Amino acid sequence: TSTVFFEWEASTLAESYTIYITNLVDGSKIEASTIDDTIGIVLDRATPYSWYIASKLASVTVESETWKFYNSGPGVETYAPFPATINAPEMAASINTANVTLQWTGSDVDNDIATYDVYLGANNNPDVYAANVTASELQVSVTSGMIYYWKIVTKDEVGNTSESGVFQFEVL
Protein backbone atom coordinates (compact mmCIF):
# COMPACT_ATOMS: atom_id res chain seq x y z
CA THR A 1 0.00 0.00 0.00
CA SER A 2 0.93 3.66 -0.25
CA THR A 3 -0.61 6.94 0.86
CA VAL A 4 -1.95 8.95 -2.06
CA PHE A 5 -2.63 12.63 -1.47
CA PHE A 6 -5.66 14.06 -3.25
CA GLU A 7 -5.97 17.80 -3.72
CA TRP A 8 -8.65 19.95 -5.35
CA GLU A 9 -9.56 23.60 -5.65
CA ALA A 10 -11.33 24.78 -2.51
CA SER A 11 -14.74 26.36 -2.86
CA THR A 12 -15.87 29.36 -0.80
CA LEU A 13 -19.36 27.85 -0.96
CA ALA A 14 -18.43 24.52 0.62
CA GLU A 15 -18.50 23.62 4.31
CA SER A 16 -17.07 20.13 3.76
CA TYR A 17 -15.95 17.69 1.12
CA THR A 18 -16.38 13.96 0.66
CA ILE A 19 -14.01 12.01 -1.56
CA TYR A 20 -15.28 8.86 -3.27
CA ILE A 21 -12.64 6.42 -4.51
CA THR A 22 -13.37 3.21 -6.44
CA ASN A 23 -10.91 0.35 -6.94
CA LEU A 24 -11.38 -0.45 -10.65
CA VAL A 25 -10.20 -4.05 -10.22
CA ASP A 26 -12.48 -5.32 -7.46
CA GLY A 27 -15.07 -2.52 -7.29
CA SER A 28 -14.45 -1.76 -3.62
CA LYS A 29 -15.18 1.81 -2.55
CA ILE A 30 -13.64 4.24 -0.09
CA GLU A 31 -15.44 7.30 1.23
CA ALA A 32 -13.78 9.94 3.42
CA SER A 33 -14.89 13.39 4.56
CA THR A 34 -12.81 16.47 5.33
CA ILE A 35 -13.13 20.24 5.68
CA ASP A 36 -9.78 20.76 3.93
CA ASP A 37 -9.05 20.77 0.20
CA THR A 38 -6.59 17.90 0.50
CA ILE A 39 -6.62 14.43 2.04
CA GLY A 40 -4.26 11.43 2.19
CA ILE A 41 -5.77 7.99 1.62
CA VAL A 42 -3.98 4.64 1.92
CA LEU A 43 -4.49 2.63 -1.29
CA ASP A 44 -3.29 -0.65 -2.76
CA ARG A 45 -0.35 -0.35 -5.12
CA ALA A 46 -0.34 -1.57 -8.72
CA THR A 47 -4.06 -0.85 -8.92
CA PRO A 48 -6.24 1.46 -11.05
CA TYR A 49 -8.74 3.77 -9.33
CA SER A 50 -11.35 6.41 -10.08
CA TRP A 51 -12.27 9.29 -7.78
CA TYR A 52 -14.46 12.35 -7.44
CA ILE A 53 -15.26 15.00 -4.84
CA ALA A 54 -18.65 16.03 -3.47
CA SER A 55 -18.74 19.60 -2.06
CA LYS A 56 -21.40 20.19 0.59
CA LEU A 57 -23.03 23.37 1.85
CA ALA A 58 -25.99 22.77 4.20
CA SER A 59 -28.30 20.46 2.25
CA VAL A 60 -26.77 21.19 -1.18
CA THR A 61 -24.21 18.77 -2.64
CA VAL A 62 -22.30 19.33 -5.88
CA GLU A 63 -20.16 16.55 -7.42
CA SER A 64 -17.02 17.03 -9.49
CA GLU A 65 -16.19 15.14 -12.63
CA THR A 66 -14.65 11.68 -12.13
CA TRP A 67 -10.92 11.14 -12.68
CA LYS A 68 -8.95 7.92 -13.11
CA PHE A 69 -5.40 7.09 -12.11
CA TYR A 70 -3.09 4.15 -11.58
CA ASN A 71 -1.34 3.80 -8.23
CA SER A 72 1.91 2.26 -9.43
CA GLY A 73 3.66 -0.56 -7.67
CA PRO A 74 7.28 -0.77 -6.58
CA GLY A 75 9.87 0.07 -9.22
CA VAL A 76 10.68 -2.61 -11.73
CA GLU A 77 13.90 -4.36 -10.85
CA THR A 78 13.93 -6.88 -13.67
CA TYR A 79 12.49 -6.78 -17.16
CA ALA A 80 11.05 -9.49 -19.36
CA PRO A 81 13.05 -10.11 -22.53
CA PHE A 82 11.77 -8.64 -25.77
CA PRO A 83 9.92 -11.15 -27.97
CA ALA A 84 12.41 -12.93 -30.23
CA THR A 85 12.69 -11.61 -33.78
CA ILE A 86 12.11 -14.42 -36.27
CA ASN A 87 14.79 -14.31 -38.99
CA ALA A 88 14.33 -17.51 -40.97
CA PRO A 89 12.33 -18.99 -42.39
CA GLU A 90 10.24 -15.89 -42.99
CA MET A 91 6.48 -15.91 -42.45
CA ALA A 92 4.68 -18.00 -45.10
CA ALA A 93 7.94 -19.01 -46.78
CA SER A 94 7.99 -22.00 -49.14
CA ILE A 95 10.94 -24.32 -48.56
CA ASN A 96 12.18 -27.21 -50.69
CA THR A 97 14.44 -29.16 -48.32
CA ALA A 98 14.22 -31.94 -45.74
CA ASN A 99 16.08 -29.94 -43.09
CA VAL A 100 15.29 -26.36 -42.08
CA THR A 101 17.35 -24.11 -39.85
CA LEU A 102 15.09 -22.03 -37.63
CA GLN A 103 16.84 -18.74 -36.82
CA TRP A 104 15.87 -15.95 -34.44
CA THR A 105 17.38 -13.06 -32.52
CA GLY A 106 16.78 -12.48 -28.81
CA SER A 107 17.31 -9.27 -26.88
CA ASP A 108 16.75 -8.12 -23.31
CA VAL A 109 17.20 -4.82 -21.47
CA ASP A 110 18.84 -6.70 -18.59
CA ASN A 111 21.10 -8.72 -20.90
CA ASP A 112 20.20 -11.89 -19.00
CA ILE A 113 18.63 -14.21 -21.59
CA ALA A 114 19.13 -17.74 -20.35
CA THR A 115 17.46 -20.03 -22.89
CA TYR A 116 14.80 -20.37 -25.57
CA ASP A 117 11.98 -22.87 -25.93
CA VAL A 118 11.27 -23.73 -29.57
CA TYR A 119 7.69 -24.69 -30.41
CA LEU A 120 7.12 -26.47 -33.73
CA GLY A 121 4.26 -28.48 -35.15
CA ALA A 122 1.61 -28.98 -37.81
CA ASN A 123 -1.10 -26.97 -36.02
CA ASN A 124 -1.25 -23.25 -35.29
CA ASN A 125 -0.73 -23.86 -31.57
CA PRO A 126 2.47 -25.92 -31.72
CA ASP A 127 3.91 -27.97 -28.86
CA VAL A 128 7.41 -27.63 -27.43
CA TYR A 129 9.87 -29.15 -29.88
CA ALA A 130 13.08 -28.29 -27.99
CA ALA A 131 13.34 -26.77 -24.50
CA ASN A 132 16.13 -24.71 -22.97
CA VAL A 133 18.00 -24.09 -26.22
CA THR A 134 20.99 -21.78 -25.67
CA ALA A 135 21.75 -20.99 -29.34
CA SER A 136 19.62 -18.73 -31.51
CA GLU A 137 19.11 -21.30 -34.23
CA LEU A 138 17.99 -24.90 -34.46
CA GLN A 139 18.04 -27.35 -37.35
CA VAL A 140 14.87 -29.44 -37.69
CA SER A 141 13.80 -32.26 -39.99
CA VAL A 142 10.62 -31.59 -41.95
CA THR A 143 8.33 -33.49 -44.30
CA SER A 144 7.39 -32.31 -47.79
CA GLY A 145 3.77 -31.32 -48.37
CA MET A 146 3.36 -30.02 -44.81
CA ILE A 147 2.75 -26.60 -43.32
CA TYR A 148 4.67 -26.01 -40.09
CA TYR A 149 3.97 -23.49 -37.36
CA TRP A 150 6.63 -22.29 -34.95
CA LYS A 151 7.37 -19.77 -32.24
CA ILE A 152 10.09 -18.94 -29.75
CA VAL A 153 9.63 -18.37 -26.03
CA THR A 154 12.56 -16.39 -24.62
CA LYS A 155 13.43 -16.98 -20.96
CA ASP A 156 15.74 -14.89 -18.80
CA GLU A 157 17.74 -15.79 -15.70
CA VAL A 158 15.02 -14.72 -13.23
CA GLY A 159 12.16 -16.55 -14.95
CA ASN A 160 10.65 -13.76 -17.08
CA THR A 161 9.43 -14.91 -20.49
CA SER A 162 8.18 -13.50 -23.79
CA GLU A 163 6.67 -15.10 -26.91
CA SER A 164 7.57 -14.30 -30.50
CA GLY A 165 4.13 -14.97 -31.93
CA VAL A 166 3.42 -17.92 -34.23
CA PHE A 167 5.05 -18.06 -37.67
CA GLN A 168 4.50 -20.59 -40.44
CA PHE A 169 6.31 -22.05 -43.44
CA GLU A 170 5.43 -24.64 -46.07
CA VAL A 171 7.64 -27.51 -47.17
CA LEU A 172 7.24 -28.23 -50.88
In this predicted model, what pLDDT tens digit does every residue of 89-104 receive, in sequence order?
A: 999 999 999 999 999 9
The terminus-to-terminus CA distance of the chain in angstroms comes to 59
**Confidence bin at 76 (pLDDT 50/70/90):** low
Please tell me what DSSP assigns to residue 163: E
Q: Contact at 8 Å (CB) between 170 and 89?
A: no
Q: Output 150 or 76, whichever has higher pLDDT.
A: 150
Write the single-letter amino acid at 15.
E
Q: Over the stretch 103-118, which tens digit does the pLDDT of each residue have?
A: 999 989 889 999 999 9
pLDDT tier, 32 (very low <50, low <70, confident <90, very high otherwise): very high
User: Ramachandran region of residue 120, left (φ > 0), alpha (ψ -120 to 50) or beta?
Assistant: beta
